[in-house]
Amino acid sequence: MIPAAFEYARPTTVDEALQAIAAGGDDVKVLAGGQSLIPVMRLRLAAPETVVDLGRVAELRGVRDDGDAIVIGAMTTHHDVMTDPLVQQYAPLIAEATETVADRQVRARGTFGGALVHADPAGDLPAVALALDAEFVIAGLEGRRTVSAGEFFVDYLTTAVEEGELLVEIRVPKLAGEWGMRYEKFNRVAQAWSIVAVAAVVRRENGHIAEARIGLTNMGSTPLRATAVEAALAGAQASPETIAAAARSAAEGTSPSSDLNAQADYREHLAQVLTRRAVTAAAGL
C-alpha cells in the first residue's frame, strides 16, 4: 500500500530536529527506525502532515557509560543495543528482551528509543524499562527534562513526550549488589508480539530476595509493575513455594485486553505462570 502524501524533513542534529518538528504543522510524526510508523502509514492508519526522519542525527546513536548509569541513545538500533558490552554488563535484561523483538531484519533497523516512545503495550521494551527503573530524557525547544519510567508511559500508544518534544536518550541505572534478571515472553510464532511477557529483576541476599521488580507486558494499556508480587517477595526466602505463592498476585491491578490471541482471563492466568517462571529464573533457582 502507498502512504498518503506527506512533507519530509531530515535533520542532522537534535536542535534541527526540534526545529523541524516545530515547523512541521499540526500533525508531525518522528521517524526513527520506521518499523511501526512506516507500516501504519502504508495502511493509512496514520497520515501525518510531516515526517521528521532522525536517521541522520548521529548524536542520538550509541551507548555510553555515565558513572552510575548507562545511557542509551534513542536512535540506537536493537541490534546495536543487544550486542553492546555496557548493556550486556549492566542491563543484560535489555539484551535478553531485545533478542526476542520481531526478527533480524526489524532488529537491524528498529531502534530502542523508537520502540519505547511508540509505547505499544505488546512491545517488549517498555516493561523492561519499567522493571529497570530507567529514566527518559526528553528534549524540547525550551531544554531537556527527565522523567521516570513510571511517569513516561501514560496510556495506549501515549507517553510523557509532549507535542514538539523528542525522546533523546534513556538512562539505565547500574545495579549494585547481586542481581538476577529474566524476560519470559509468551507468543505464538517467533516474530510475533508478546501475548503476555514478564520482566523480572531480582536482588538476592543471603538466600533471600531483597528486592524484586517485575514489569508486565501487554497486561493493560501501558506496561505495568506487578506491585503486589513485588511486595510479597521483598525480604522473602528465595524458594519455589514462596515465589509461586507471590506470583499468584501477578494479575492484581491489571486490565488486559481480549483479542484473537487471548481473552483477558487467560492473560491474567499467563501473567501468574510467567511471573513465577521469570522470578524463579532471576532468583537463580
State how far the Cα of 36 lies from the Cα of 138, in Å rounded to an integer: 20
Could you tell me which residues are beta bridge partners of residue 167? Answer: 138
- Chain centroid to Cα 154, Å, comes to 13
Question: CA nearest 21: which of 58, 53, 55, 46?
Answer: 53
Shortest Cβ 267–another protein spacing (Å)? 9
Nearer to another protein, 90 or 186 (CB): 186
Shortest Cβ 268–another protein spacing (Å)? 12
Nearer to another protein, 210 or 273 (CB): 273
Question: CA nearest 172: which of 130, 203, 139?
Answer: 130
Nearer to another protein, 192 or 210 (CB): 192
Shortest Cβ 164–another protein spacing (Å)? 22
The full DSSP string for 88-100 is HHH-HHHHHHHHT
Cβ-proximal residues to 170 (8 Å cutoff; 6+ apart), any chain = 71, 72, 74, 112, 113, 116, 129, 134, 135, 136, 137
94, 117 in Cβ contact below 8 A? no
Shortest Cβ 208–another protein spacing (Å)? 26
Nearer to another protein, 88 or 254 (CB): 254
Nearer to another protein, 86 or 199 (CB): 199
Nearer to another protein, 20 or 262 (CB): 262
Shortest Cβ 111–another protein spacing (Å)? 16
Question: CA nearest 97: which of 77, 118, 125?
Answer: 125
186, 196 in Cβ contact below 8 A? yes
Residues within the interface to another protein (CB under 8 A) = 1-2, 4-5, 36, 39-40, 43-46, 120-123, 156-157, 186, 188-195, 218, 221, 257-263, 266, 269-270, 273-274
